Chain A
């Protein structure tokens, strides 16, 4: 008997149908993955399997069976019995999925208390056993922590533990690793692998084929509410039939050399472009050019309860014109502080930052201000970097005026700025709030370039985006850099992305640069064990 057997599942909101007849079957010990972009209907499908498609949703199906029990028109009471006991749910962001005011031990205890008649002592033992099973170090201690006191990875483990509390035969994991660092992601995925080995069926939802390829036995590719391709994981990844699937595969940046396009134009006849990288100004002629941005033994600390935290510790970097320096590390490694130091938003405790050979960090703000347009920035969350009251046109015109003031050239026109990032001119009249994530990031890039900078600081510019959109943005950044000869400091936790984008890399851990050098040299033969670990954990397709 299959754990899950659905046929012709349709979900509609009002008159708008978002899932058009999905069929799916999961057996014990099997992992089936649904892959697709945001808005493809994958999450709605997953939720419909728990009877929680959302307010105003109408769900119809020819067959909706969980453990052989038809649930097509089940009442809310029956659904409540199914949730937790028969089907566990793991969501993307444990921070919002766990009650911030309660210790995680209590959260994990909840399903036991609600569904099982167990004496408190037995429940307590079960909670600790679950925490141990998901690889939580020191379960006793962790059970008493609130979710906010744990790191992202530990939090996600706690959430998985609560989903597994009642030993459900089936677990639905909706983007379980999307918010996590690669190394944490690798650990969570192997944890899910162990659960599967123990006989639990897993429905894995993700936008990232690389994540899916590590775990899935079968893959369904969803687009616009329909399953457009399905099959054994090896077949789908190895010999995809649909152009869209190929685009998804092509979008994974890991192991794709610098200068290769990641996004596949959808209209074009599709072959994954394997064009050699364009000539990158590196190697022999690089040392002749003085660095545009230089960190010389920079240190920066912050006061924390109980002492001082060195966020950046004795960091030296050099960034030359036309070159990308990738900075990779986990969250909390000090990457963003490096970005803020480079942008002159915070001053170092010791050491200096030099811009084009001149003092930068040591200058008073009054003198620094006219130089600021030379360094542009792109942030992870583009939306919050725009004044909510301003239209795209006003945002760009404002930035362009800065460039005009600094260079003496006429300000670039808004239409041209939009055009170079691949947006139509009519976007100028809209507000960023009404744009998609990819469009917002394009506007952010256009703004950064409007002031005609020499250096571009990109702090996690794609980590909030789907892989396909990520691929487009990375391609765009790469092209613009080549055209303008920009120096780029590219910061990311995702080694695959950094490796694809950078000429040189620096690996950062706990505020220190543990390894640096030419990208391929560092990643092909990592000398530091931490770098080796990052390389091993990078999400790649493993068909």
Chain B
């Protein structure tokens, strides 16, 4: 073939519309979510930078003050500053949320990979185990773990992680089964790539990307669950400033001093929303390509 012909094809092919890439401005909500998560990060790493006073300083004279300029979120029954306690509790709450999610994901990944690659018998076995775990309400499963291992923040974390694992496992299995029969995995096989390479480069990344969003949702969920356990007195113990424990401690004064429960609750809600929005924004970017 002649070079001229070649050049003509090039012109034709590039004449097919190559639309310019669009770089979209981040949405306002995303900016807010980033700011909030950044604030949480600071509160986790160096809470003393953002709190206004020692979260455990007792001042009986200041008990039950409603929110004001001096005490942004008010004070509790011992006169401790609620804002500073919320900040102090960030590290514990986030740690519980994130580690519980990671535990759930890791366990789910193991179960999911086993089910989708371990052959028919293992798939059947893992499937039934997942179903049995599903049959228990999540919190009940967590309670079971705590009964066996005793209360405390570490047990609570593991318990919450365990109870979220079956959900992740089922999704990972479904993803892997779908992707394994996809055309691009077939194309990789045709090229002669080894199963290990296909697993590492195609299967796992594609299976885990959608899980990423789910995991950001899961972090919020895990915080709520851990808070629930703390609320029941099975997780973090007073006077620790964990958000769930604060909710539990404040419930007695719900009618007279609602700020004791409202602000820790708002933090839980805010964190869940912010991580979810971040996760969504990240997947959106991933989907739109570079």
Residues of A within 8 A of B (CB): 39, 261, 263, 265-268, 343, 345, 369-373, 375-377, 379, 381, 384-389, 391, 398-399, 402, 406, 419, 421-424, 426-427, 429-431, 433-434, 436, 438-439, 442, 447, 451, 469, 472, 475-476, 479, 482-483
Contact = CB atoms under 8 A, between A and B. Distances in A.
A372 B13 contact: no
A59 B168 CA distance: 49
Given A266-B15, A391-B290, A430-B290, A385 B186 contact: yes
B258 to A, nearest CB: 46
Contact of B190 (A343, A472, A482): A343
23 contacts: A265-B11, A345-B189, A345-B190, A370-B192, A373-B191, A377-B187, A377-B190, A379-B187, A384-B183, A387-B184, A387-B188, A387-B206, A421-B13, A422-B6, A423-B10, A424-B18, A433-B289, A436-B16, A439-B16, A451-B192, A469-B16, A472-B13, A483-B1
A301 to B, nearest CB: 20
Most buried by B among A268, A388, A427: A388
B29 interface: no
A265 B12 contact: yes
A369 to B, nearest CB: 5
B252 interface: no
B280 interface: no
Contact of B9 (A399, A476, A483): A476
Contacts of A469: 16
By DSSP majority rule, is chain B's interface helix, strand, loop, or mixed? helix
Given A387-B206, A389-B286, A391-B289, A265 B192 contact: no
Contacts of B190: 343, 345, 372, 375-377
Contacts of B205: 389
A431 B290 contact: yes
A399 B84 CA distance: 56
A483 B13 CA distance: 20
B14 interface: yes
A422 B12 contact: yes
B256 interface: no
B78 interface: no
Contacts of A399: 191
Given A266-B15, A422-B9, A430-B21, 15 more contacts: A369-B192, A369-B194, A371-B192, A372-B191, A373-B192, A377-B187, A387-B188, A388-B184, A402-B191, A406-B192, A423-B13, A424-B18, A439-B13, A439-B16, A479-B5
A385 B6 contact: no
**Residue from B1, B182, B205 having most chain A Cβ neighbours under 10 A:** B1
Interface residues of B, number: 36
A478 B8 CA distance: 15
B193 interface: yes
B1 A479 contact: yes
A295 to B, nearest CB: 18
A389 B206 contact: yes
Nearest to A426: B18
Given A379-B183, A389-B205, A479-B5, A372 B192 contact: yes
Contacts of A430: 21, 289-290
A261 B184 CA distance: 31
A351 B191 CA distance: 24
B182 A384 contact: yes
A325 to B, nearest CB: 18
B71 interface: no
B160 to A, nearest CB: 30
A481 B187 CA distance: 20
By CB atoms of chain B within 10 A, which of A433, A434, A451, A469 has the most?
A: A434
Contacts of B187: 377, 379, 385-386, 447
Contacts of B21: 430
Interface string B96-125: 000000000000000000000000000000
